Amino acid sequence: MATVDLNDVRKVYAGGFEAVKGVSIAIPDKALCVLVGPSGCGKSTLLRMIAGLETISSGTISIDGKVVNNIGPTDRDIAMVFQNYALYPHMSVYDNMAYGLRNRGTPKPEIDSRVRATAKTLELDQLLDRKPRQLSGGQRQRVAMGRAIVRNPKVFLFDEPLSNLDAKLRGQMRVEIKNLQRNLGVTSVYVTHDQLEAMTLADMLVVMNAGVIEQIGAPMDVYEKPASTFVAAFIGAPPMNLMALTHGADGTATVAGGAKIAGHVPEQAAILGLRPEDAIVPAPDATQKGALSLPVAVEAVEPVGMESFLHCAIAGERIVVRVPGRSMVQPGDRLEIAAGLDRLHFFDKDGRRV
């Protein structure tokens, strides 16, 4: 039960490469904070710095109000779940879970009761004598979690723990991790590059890019009000459509193909963003058109099942539009797509939201 505070944390490697460029995050008690970003954005480095596996070049990291910069990973009272599980291959499940407690000199009966209790919660109690190689991927994942839980640490750190599982198991484990974290009420930091995982797990979403934080917020807030074009393109699948916006002399704003936007557009706006699901394909006879109406040519149709994605083109720009269910549209068709003013996102020429 602890807060985790990062204050202007930097990581500069020996070669001069700056992996993390001044990051400040305040993670409240019991929250699950997800660090998300493309590979190389510094999210794993940041996590490893919280764990104490990487040194901190400048800034401070505190756990529960105490600065831990110069404290080793052993004494930070954290537990980490690794991408490849990092189970000790020669030890049984029981010993894997008990190892950390033994090293801390926990009395034997207590170790035994804690390991068995944790194994029960994770449904590992039948597997305690097995070696890691005799377990399936999902079971290994559970053992890795068990090893973290049994220690009852202040903070859990997850380093892309689900990336080695198949899609179905990943969905299942995602729910389990979320429930477990909520039930145990342990502050957690979770690193992933998968925006779906980030959206579903996070209490607090931190989007990182090239060593800096692009946005911090609740997942749905980040989704609905992306702070930058990077976040807009990163969160959401398929990503938000981004189009160049030009302001005419008469004060009207136009996008590709000369379509005008009806309504107020901020002065600085240079980029227009539109989520695939916010673009509607109105009935041909509809009288009510949105603030924006674009005549597009359909290039490809991707039926996913419950929805279909139309890949469209207009004057050199590409737009993806989501339509529910099965689509009757064929590649080569011409369509009019529309969107309401409140569904449009505007960004300035640097990609910042306006």
Question: Which of the stretches 48-56, 118-126, 261-269, 327-335 binds another protein when contact is defined by CB under 8 A?
Answer: 48-56
Q: Give the span between the Cα atoms of 156 and 75, in whole angstroms.
A: 14
The residue within the footprint of another protein, chosen from 83, 121, 164, 200 (CB under 8 A), is: 83
Our CB check for another protein shows the closer of 35 and 87 to be 87
Q: Give the span between the Cα atoms of 293 and 265, in whole angstroms.
A: 15
Our CB check for another protein shows the closer of 122 and 279 to be 122
Does the footprint of another protein cover residue 137 (CB under 8 A)? no
Does the footprint of another protein cover residue 71 (CB under 8 A)? no
Between 204 and 233, how does the x/- string for binding to another protein read (CB under 8 A)?
A: ------------------------------
The residue within the footprint of another protein, chosen from 22, 100, 263, 282 (CB under 8 A), is: 100
The SS3 call for residue 107 is coil
The SS3 call for residue 216 is strand
The residue within the footprint of another protein, chosen from 39, 107, 133, 251 (CB under 8 A), is: 133
Does the footprint of another protein cover residue 89 (CB under 8 A)? yes
The SS3 call for residue 206 is strand
Q: Count the helix, strand and coil residues of the chain and give each as a percent rounded to the nearest 5.
A: 30, 35, 40
Does the footprint of another protein cover residue 72 (CB under 8 A)? yes
Does the footprint of another protein cover residue 73 (CB under 8 A)? yes
Does the footprint of another protein cover residue 128 (CB under 8 A)? no
By CB under 8 A, what part of segment 142-161 binds another protein?
Answer: 147
Our CB check for another protein shows the closer of 50 and 199 to be 50
Does the footprint of another protein cover residue 74 (CB under 8 A)? yes
- The nearest distance, CB 176 to another protein, in angstroms, is 21
Our CB check for another protein shows the closer of 76 and 322 to be 76
Q: Count other Cβ atoms within 10 Å, centred on residue 76.
A: 20
Helices (H) and strands (E) in the chain, counts: 8, 19
226 with 240: CB under 8 angstroms?
yes
335 with 298: CB under 8 angstroms?
yes
339 with 292: CB under 8 angstroms?
yes
Does the footprint of another protein cover residue 108 (CB under 8 A)? no
CA separation (Å) from 156 to 239, 240, 276? 30, 32, 35
Name the residue among 88, 90, 15, 89 with its Cα closest to residue 57: 15
> Which residues lie near another protein (CB under 8 A)?
48, 51-53, 72-74, 78-80, 82-90, 99-100, 103-104, 131, 133, 147
